[in-house]
Chain A
Amino acid sequence: MIFLSQHIKVLVKGTIKATAQQPACKECQTSCQSACKTSCTVGNQVCQNR
């Protein structure tokens, strides 16, 4: 849901903290096994369970 108000527009509803209570299954791709091998980004990996 995106809602508008006078000063703030929500573009992305973050869920990072909400997932802190669940253990990481670590089924998603290891970042260095994708395209980089030298300067990892982890935030662009895709969750295998959603």
Chain B
Amino acid sequence: MHVFRFRGKILTLDPITGTLLEVDELAGEVLKLWPHMTPAGVSEALSLRFSAHDVARAMGEVEELVSLGLLDAIMPPEPTYSAADLCQVKALCLHVAHDCNLRCRYCFAGTGDFGLERGMMDEATGRAAIDFLLRSSGARKHLEVDFFGGEPLLNFDVVRRIVAYAEEHAPKWGKLIRFTLTTNATLLDEVTTQYLNDKQIAVVLSLDGRQAVNDRMRPFAGDAGSYTSVSAAILRFVKSRGGKNYYVRGTYTAHNLDFATDIRHLYDLGLRELSVEPVVGGAGESYQLTRDHLPTLVQEYERLADLYLTKQEEGDPFNLFHFNMATYGGPCFGKRVSGCGAGCDYLAVTPLGELYPCHQFVGQKDFAMGTVFTGVKAPDLAREFSRANLYRKPECMQCFAKFFCSGGCHAHAYHSNGTILKPDALHCELQRKRVECALGISAIRNVQ
């Protein structure tokens, strides 16, 4: 049981069922001990602080919740994986452009080229990627293609041709393909905007917040800041689609530990669908996040939760991706155990059609998995990723947030610890705090 405080409330999450409780001081103490002790042991352990009568009553409530199946201390057995699970691809991250017109200092893609040659995907490779997805997706009906880069709008004509090809062929296979496009917004002209709106393509727009924060990390190739043109383009674009079907996504670094102020800035611009992510990597760079930053970052997430709730109370709310925890309608156990699906459900495709487990492994030859022309030719790697679930990660099995983050990012884990089975410790701490805030927000909304 994970007992924590949020805005003066004592909350308890049962990590295994997902039940969320508001408790008093006594019940919180009982719940911490309950899975590990007999009722008599709990009573004895708390005897100096609470009467035996009160402990017995709280224990009675706990046992009632157990009998209703709302609390449970026993993990279900690990799901078994069939051969079909190993090869059912659901989503592709299509790197249509390994080039970019920005030179973001924290770019994990090496400012667009991923350590490979700069280049564009051609139409034939894009078509082959769609064919690969359709024939590799087994019984799955809902498929996803994200146009990514580099900057995908540098290759807009091919994006359009790939979408047209997919629209023509997906129905023949009984599939629905949902498209997203991740862009720095520099090339969002009228024609592009009209097209993305007509096709109802979900768009992720990159902007880090305040001008000084953004321009320090996201300059153009000539080193000029990108904020002025990008923020104007994003506002035009969001307005053009009625404020729907987009996210503005920022990255925070050691240079803006007060990132809630950047979210506030984006809100003040009129943007309401927001996400902010900690920077990854950057070893030795001044922007790198370290454990020394953790106390500040924890406080900042609390500040962000306050802002979120305040705007909700004022009647003009915003959506923050990581606080949008679907505690009722969220994914099932099987999804929560298996996580992001990289290397199994989800693959990245380079401009030449090479397959990698995800966008963050692109260019690392040890993780090459085949091509869209040949299919997956690295069965051992596919098996390794498909089995890299919570049960194979000892740290995760001990963590209260395991069914919300589902084991975290394989690439972070590998780049930090040399194995996809040991998550990055700093990002785990940040994830745990985000989950606490999301659950706390859920609790406040529930009571209201």
Stretch at the interface among B125-133, B256-264, B324-332: B324-332
A interface footprint on B3-24 (CB within 8 Å = 1, 0 otherwise): 0000000010010111111111
Interface residue? B341 (CB, 8 A): yes
B309 at the interface (CB under 8 A from A): no
* Neighbouring B residues of A29 by C-beta, 8 Å: 142, 144, 178
Which residues on A sit within 8 Å (CB–CB) of B64?
5
Contact A33 to B403, CB < 8 A, known contacts A8-B58, A19-B332? no
Q: Specify which of A17, A34, A39, A41 is in contact with B16 (CB 8 Å cutoff).
A: A17
Partner of B322, one of A7, A24, A41: A41
Q: Known contacts being A7-B24, A16-B17, A45-B335, is A40 close to B408, with CB within 8 Å?
A: yes
Interface size on B, residues (CB 8 A): 90
Tell me whether A46 and B329 are in contact in the complex, defined as CB-CB below 8 angstroms, given that A10-B21, A38-B409 are known contacts: yes
Picked from B30, B108, B335, the residue with its CB within 8 Å of the CB of A28 is: B335
Q: Which residues of A contact B230 (CB under 8 A)?
A: none
Question: In the complex, A16→B403 CA distance in Å?
Answer: 8
Separation in Å of the A7 CB from the closest CB of chain B? Answer: 4
Q: How far is the CA of A21 from the CA of B333 in the complex (A)?
A: 8
Q: A residues within 8 A CB of B61?
A: 5-8
B345 touches A30 (CB 8 A): yes
A49 to chain B, nearest CB (A): 8
CB pair A35–B275 under 8 Å, yes or no, is yes
Size bin of chain A's contact surface: 35 or more
Query: How many angstroms between the C-alpha atoms of A39 and B411 in the bound complex?
Result: 10
Contacts A8-B21, A26-B140 hold; do A41 and B90 have CB atoms under 8 A apart?
no
Give every chain B residue within 8 A of A36 (Cβ-Cβ).
249, 275, 277, 321-322
- B438 cross-chain contacts in A, Cβ below 8 A: 43-44
Binds A, one of B183-191, B293-301, B439-447: B439-447
Q: Which one of A10, A18, A37 has the greatest number of beta carbons of chain B within 10 Å?
A: A37
Q: Which residues of B contact A9 (CB under 8 A)?
A: 21-23
Instruction: State whether the Cβ of B435 lies closer than 8 Å to any Cβ in chain A.
Output: yes
Q: How far is the CA of A18 from the CA of B76 in the complex (A)?
A: 10
Contacts of A23 in B (CB 8 A): 79, 334
Q: How far is the CB of A20 from chain B (nearest CB, A)?
A: 4
Is B231 interfacial (CB-CB < 8 Å)?
no
23 example contacts (A-B, Cβ-Cβ < 8 A) are as follows: A7-B30, A11-B20, A12-B18, A12-B328, A12-B443, A14-B19, A17-B17, A19-B334, A20-B334, A24-B331, A29-B178, A30-B90, A30-B340, A33-B346, A34-B247, A38-B278, A40-B405, A40-B409, A43-B404, A44-B324, A44-B438, A46-B329, A47-B332
B-side interface residues toward A, CB under 8 Å? 11, 14, 16-24, 26-27, 30, 57-58, 61-62, 64-65, 69-70, 72, 76, 79, 88, 90-91, 93, 108, 140-142, 144, 146, 148, 178, 180, 182, 204, 247, 249, 251, 275, 277-278, 280, 321-322, 324-342, 345-346, 358-360, 403-406, 408-409, 412, 427, 430-431, 434-435, 438, 442-443, 446-447
